[in-house]
Amino acid sequence: QVDASSPVAQIDALNGTFGKHDGKRASHAKGFCAQGDFTPAAKLDTFVKSPLFSQKKMDATVRFSIGGGNPGASDKSRSVRGLGARISGGGETYDLVLISEPVFFASTPESFVSFLQARVPDPATKKPDPAKVAAHNAKYPEAKNQPALLASHPAPYSYATTPYYSTNAFIFKAANKTEQHARIVVEPAAGTRYLTEQEEQSLPDLFLENELNSRLAAATAEFTIYAQLPAPGDSLTDSSQPWQGSQRVALGKLRVLNVAPQSTCDGLVFMPVTLPSGITPSDDSILKARAPAYAVSLGRRSN
């Protein structure tokens, strides 16, 4: 029996399902780096106060990725897309580490490790054993939420045409010390666009980087970053559950200007708990597990 709360067990589970790939991240192994900037919304003090949000415009280092530890994953695969962004200013750093669906596939580290173990490819079929996946789903019913969303639409047409979500909640502190939980939601200015069925068949497995390069030759790719407030009853600690809350506070605009060399992001690890003053982690066991696991992944890929 593995202790699922240990970061090593979580990385072993990722490596066990996706294989170990030299120099690659244990999850979100396939991706590329970009540069941009972030402009905070005006007068945020009534929601969140920090030196970072008082800046005019700051540089942002961005990484776009495909969820999972397979560096050869197809850009057409119906898995999550990732957005990592590091914004620095006012002596502070804010890492946003987001996925393209509003819920995560596990509510606890135990469920995370079990989800992956149930998907270790069967040596005969090279695919997960459906019986093991069914057994996992019976024990952890929340595991069906994210796969159901992923199955309901094709993969994004572009990294610039999908929303991104923190799924974990954070606590935002206003100038008057009022605290509120919120999740991060990022909306693309270009609107949401998924592949058509025809594009799903005709496009090659590698197109997202070219697509973004061509897009950025003509214009910047823009996103608005929001804090989504919970409706009564929305879980503050379980990222596998969708939120009903419709109220949002705009935190600012993220612009992506150009694709950057791979090396820009190789030595970098986006940490979900690298936050400006005014934002603190919620009491979510998944959020608490992330930073130690990311550090183990960084250690393994830096060797």
Q: Of 10, 61, 161, 240, which one interacts with ligand HEM (CB under 6 A)?
A: 10
- Cβ closer to ligand HEM: 71 or 90? 71
Q: Which residues contact 140 (CB under 8 A, 6 or more apart)?
A: 106, 107, 111, 114, 115
- Cβ closer to ligand HEM: 36 or 84? 84
> In the complex, what is the shortest distance from the CB of residue 209 to ligand HEM, in angstroms, rounded to a whole number?
14
Q: Of 107, 158, 168, 241, which one interacts with ligand HEM (CB under 6 A)?
A: 168
> In the complex, what is the shortest distance from the CB of residue 88 to ligand HEM, in angstroms, rounded to a whole number?
16
> In the complex, what is the shortest distance from the CB of residue 276 to ligand HEM, in angstroms, rounded to a whole number?
19
Residue 44 binds ligand HEM (CB under 6 A)? no
Residue 9 binds ligand HEM (CB under 6 A)? no
Q: Of 38, 94, 112, 159, which one interacts with ligand HEM (CB under 6 A)?
A: 112
Q: Which residues contact 131 (CB under 8 A, 6 or more apart)?
A: none
d(CA 213, CA 32): 11
165 labeled part of a ligand binding site: no
- Cβ closer to ligand HEM: 49 or 226? 226
How buried is residue 149: exposed, middle or buried, by Cβ count under 10 Å (0-12/13-18/19+)? middle
- Cβ closer to ligand HEM: 97 or 275? 97
User: Residues 28, 136, 153, 181: which is the catalytic one?
Assistant: 28
- How far CA 25 is from CA of 64, 144, 191, 293, in Å, comes to 13, 25, 29, 11
d(CA 161, CA 267): 27
Partner residues linked to 97 by β-bridges = 84
Is there a catalytic annotation at residue 28?
A: yes
Strand 279-281 to 58-66 pairing: unpaired
Q: Which residue numbers are catalytic? A: 28
